[in-house]
Amino acid sequence: MKTASTLENILASGELAVTSECGPPRGALPQKVREKAELLRGCVDGVNVTDNQTAMVRMSSLAACILLKQMGLNPILQMVTRDRNRLAMQSDILGAYSHGIDTMLCLSGDHPRFGDHAMAATVHDIDSVQMIRMVKDMRDEGLFQGGEKIDGPPKMFIGAAANPFADPFELRVSRLAKKVKAGVDFIQTQCIYNVDKFEKWLQGVRDRGLHQQVHILAGITPMKSVGMARYMKNKVPGMDVPDEVVKRMGGVPKDKQAEEGIKICLETIERLKGVEGVRGFHLMAIEWEQKVPEIVERAGLLPRPDGLNVGVQNVRGGKS
Amino acid sequence: MITAERKPIEELIQSVKPYRSILLAGCNECVTVCAAGGRKEVGVLASALKMHFLKAGKPFEIQEITLERQCDPEYVEQLASNLDQVDAVLSMACGCGVQEVARRFHNKPVFPALNTKFMGASERQGVWSERCQGCGDCVLGYTGGICPVARCSKQLFNGPCGGSSNGKCEVDPNVDCAWQLIWDRLKALGMTERYEENLPAKDWRPAGGAGPRRIIREDMAL
Amino acid sequence: MENFEPVILAFCCHYCAYTAADMAGSMRLRYPPNVKIIRVPCSGKVDAIHIMKSLEKGADGVYVAGCLEGDCHFKNGNGRATHRVEYLKKLLDEIGIGGERVEMFAMSAGMGERFAQTATDFTEKIRQLGPNPVKAAPQNQRAAG
């Protein structure tokens, strides 16, 4: 084991892992974080805590991760290259690990242009591939990015994102290969609606044996309504929502659409469960966290393995 | 070239309003090519300012001059004789030219007439786009001749990100995804294996991270 | 003010509007003598500075008359002139002179009537607008400028 991460434990055991996410609030109320996170207790192995998602200011991922940790949950620290240079990133990683946060996700982040601070300067000191390498060197070599030795290196289980649906498609396996080369441990994919295309990508991943070097969690987002389906299809960059899915959502009465959305995501999970290279699921129920337990249960992914409890016992309480 | 655009006329009127006479100084180099601050633009702006102040009934004199280059002291020196007769200078050069005039004539107020934009190339008639950020350590040899620093919205050295769609950038559908261009070039050159060589974290010191940059050529410096 | 006779400059393309002006003459069509015609080889030859200087020196209105769309003898000079006039309209609005004092018209060499009508209508429009505000300034200032 590279780390004490619960997620790593579960993935290593061969069980399908389940992660979900919790977007911190647009304010300083810790209760809001706790309420959202509480919904996920016992049904997931890790909770991604987003980092100023969609380029909107929110409570810091690190602070919200600490709140989750205090609740005995397993937060996954998301960190984007957009807002921090390598000094700030490394110091936050040290700080996170000092609080027992041992799993993180390296991202480039949505461009500020999409958020409420479009006038902000972007940092982009390093990119997500370089960040993976930096965190790996901190863990395995005990070295800062600048080359100096770390006194008590943080042992992070390193995640990253992959979008099988962005262009150019032929590059999507290669891009994953770059992240694998940089040292990524697990991948959470973009929301999957076009399952055929996802499987095509996965075939490319398997052809190169990448699935044996990295754990891939398939990204699943239930849709609440046909409106959301249309929005995701037309407005969200890098999202692939096939017409059939929009049609299917629109084909049922309004009050049944939410259930239809959940059915679609359950079918996707069912289809992907046995596919070689899929090591678990990442459920992104956007502002719909209360549905996660139901989805996990109906998908037959409960109870979660003991890894969750193992993770809690492993809290290092500041001693790293 | 260094590209620039004229500031809004209202802002220029406000800058020169306190003065009775100004020198409007253009530059024959980059800003002439991008039609922002050459002889022609000096003429049009001078005419516009004159008409504005005539209408307002405000006494206002304006002299026009366009230097060969405003970023070289030898040429800036040519302003010396004109400057006695004016209260201020409105420079139609890039930021380098404005500062060179300010440095030489320290007791004369100098105002920029342009917003200096970027180092770019002419895409077609009337359209210029950014091509280089002068990062001081060129990687074009690794990226098929397309710059990820200047042309990728996220400055990814290992792109493309998940927002690349039909060859366009998620930030602006009118902007090409730099990494799509890089990939297309690498394919055309038969160098696709280059793509999976991870580019390491960049040293930003040559890009200005170590403070204002200088070039000293020992063989030339006197 | 009731005796205001506007000074109008018309930059006319040799291949269309200028010939149309001839045609208007031979057809004995009347148009206001306020319009002073300047023949140019193409409407695309008219630069921003020509129009600006005309107004600065006291013209009350300026227009450019070029070929019909797609008919430019030099491919797209008329298109360029149209864009320039649009740009100047904005600039003239910004400096308080008024963009409506400049205009772009299109016509063919055979449109004598259209030439006369355009000249009449534009002169009337400028007459309504009144004198170029630059002329209202004291003469000594204009000389100084």
CATH number of the CATH domain containing C22: 3.40.50
* Cα Dmax for chain C: 46
Contact between B102 and B110 under an 8 Å Cβ cutoff? The reply is yes
In this complex, is the C-beta atom of A208 within 8 Å of any C-beta atom belonging to chain B?
A: no
Residue C145 CB partners (closer than 8 Å, separation 6+)? B50, B53, B54, B60, B61, B62, C56
Comparing alpha-carbon positions, the chain B residue that sits nearest to C96 is B52
Compute the nearest-CA separation of B98 from chain C (Å): 24
Q: Chains B, C: CB contacts under 8 A, how many?
A: 64
Using CB atoms, which residue from C56, C95, C144 is nearest to B9?
A: C95
What pLDDT is attached to residue C1?
A: 53
CA distances from C83 to B143, C18, C88 (A): 38, 21, 9
Comparing alpha-carbon positions, the chain C residue that sits nearest to B11 is C94
What pLDDT is attached to residue C141?
A: 52
Residues of C in contact with B51 (CB under 8 A): 52, 55-56, 95, 97, 134
- Is-cis flag, bond preceding B206, omega within 30? no
Phi, psi of A71 (to 5 degrees): -85, 0
What pLDDT is attached to residue C135?
A: 86
Tokens, residue A35: 């309420």
CA distances from A142 to A79, A91, A148, A160, A180 (A): 20, 14, 9, 21, 20
For the segment C52-105, what is each residue's pLDDT rounded down to a tens digit?
999 999 999 999 999 999 999 999 999 999 999 999 999 999 999 999 999 999
Residues of A in contact with B198 (CB under 8 A): 129-130, 133, 178, 181-182
**CB proximity under 8 Å: B 45-104 to C:** 47-57, 59-62
**B44 and C49 in contact by Cβ < 8 A?**
yes
Comparing alpha-carbon positions, the chain A residue that sits nearest to B203 is A125
Q: Which residues pair with B211 in a beta bridge?
A: none
- Is-cis flag, bond preceding B173, omega within 30? no
CA A2, distance to chain mean position in Å, is 19
Contact between A60 and A88 under an 8 Å Cβ cutoff? The reply is no
Average pLDDT over residues B207-214: 94
Residue numbers of the domain that contains C76: 8-144
* Cα–Cα distance for residue pair A240/A196, rounded to 1 Å: 11
Whose CA is closest to C101, among C90, C116, C112, C113? Answer: C90
In a domain, C108, yes or no: yes
In a domain, C86, yes or no: yes
Residues of C in contact with B59 (CB under 8 A): 141, 144
Listed by start position, the domains of chain A span: 6-313
Does chain A reach chain C with at least 3 CB pairs under 8 Å? no
Does chain C reach chain B with at least 3 CB pairs under 8 Å? yes
For tokens 């070239």, name the residue: B1
Residues of B in contact with A237 (CB under 8 A): 162-163, 165, 170
Compute the nearest-CA separation of A152 from chain B (Å): 23
Q: Residue by residue, what is the 3-state secondary structure of chain C?
A: CCCCCCCEEEEEECCCHHHHHHHHHHCCCCCCCCEEEEEECCHHHCCHHHHHHHHHCCCCEEEEEECCCCCCCCCCHHHHHHHHHHHHHHHHHHCCCCHHHEEEEECCCCCHHHHHHHHHHHHHHHHHHCCCHHHHCCHHHHHHC
Comparing alpha-carbon positions, the chain B residue that sits nearest to C133 is B55
Q: Which residues pair with A189 in a beta bridge?
A: A162
In this complex, is the C-beta atom of A200 within 8 Å of any C-beta atom belonging to chain B?
A: no
Residues of C in contact with B63 (CB under 8 A): none
Task: Judge: domain A6-313, CATH 3.20.20.220.
Answer: yes
Residues of B in contact with A129 (CB under 8 A): 157-158, 198
For residue B165, the 8-state DSSP code is B
Residue B222 CB partners (closer than 8 Å, separation 6+)? none
In a domain, C53, yes or no: yes
Low-confidence ranges of chain A (pLDDT < 50): 308-320
**C141 and B8 in contact by Cβ < 8 A?**
no
Residues of C in contact with B9 (CB under 8 A): 91, 94-95
In this complex, is the C-beta atom of B145 within 8 Å of any C-beta atom belonging to chain C?
A: no
Average pLDDT over residues B160-166: 92
Residues of C in contact with B13 (CB under 8 A): 95
* Cα–Cα distance for residue pair B160/A128, rounded to 1 Å: 11
Residues of A in contact with B160 (CB under 8 A): 166-168, 171, 175
Report the amino acid identity of residue C102.
V
Residues of A in contact with B204 (CB under 8 A): 125
What pLDDT is attached to residue C137?
A: 67
Q: Which residues pair with A218 in a beta bridge?
A: A281
Whose CA is closest to C14, among C64, C88, C86? Answer: C64
Return the H-helix or E-strand segment holding A309. helix A307-313
What pLDDT is attached to residue C138?
A: 62
Q: How many residues does chain A have?
A: 320
Kind of pairing between the strands at B168-169 and A46-49:
unpaired
Compute the nearest-CA separation of A182 from chain B (Å): 8
Contact between A238 and B170 under an 8 Å Cβ cutoff? The reply is yes
Using CB atoms, which residue from A127, A166, A175 is nearest to B157?
A: A127
Residues of A in contact with B172 (CB under 8 A): 113
Q: Which chains sit next to B, with 3 or more Cβ pairs under 8 A?
A: A, C
Comparing alpha-carbon positions, the chain A residue that sits nearest to B156 is A127
**B163 and A237 in contact by Cβ < 8 A?**
yes
Residues of B in contact with C94 (CB under 8 A): 8-10, 48
Contact between A46 and A103 under an 8 Å Cβ cutoff? The reply is yes
Q: Which of B155, B158, B169, B194 should we substitute to test contact with A (largest number of A Cβ atoms within 10 Å)?
A: B158
Residue B180 CB partners (closer than 8 Å, separation 6+)? A167, A168, B160, B164, B167, B168
**What structural domains does chain B harbor?**
2-117 (3.40.50.2300), 133-207 (no CATH)
**B158 and A108 in contact by Cβ < 8 A?**
no
* Cα–Cα distance for residue pair A164/A175, rounded to 1 Å: 10
Q: Which chains sit next to C, with 3 or more Cβ pairs under 8 A?
A: B
For the segment A86-100, what is each residue's pLDDT rounded down to a tens digit?
999 999 999 999 999
In this complex, is the C-beta atom of A129 within 8 Å of any C-beta atom belonging to chain B?
A: yes
Q: Give the number of domains in chain C.
A: 1
Which chain C residues have any C-beta within 8 angstroms of a chain B C-beta? 47-49, 52-53, 55-56, 91-92, 94-97, 133-134, 136-138, 141-142, 144-145
Q: Chains A, B: CB contacts under 8 A, how many?
A: 99
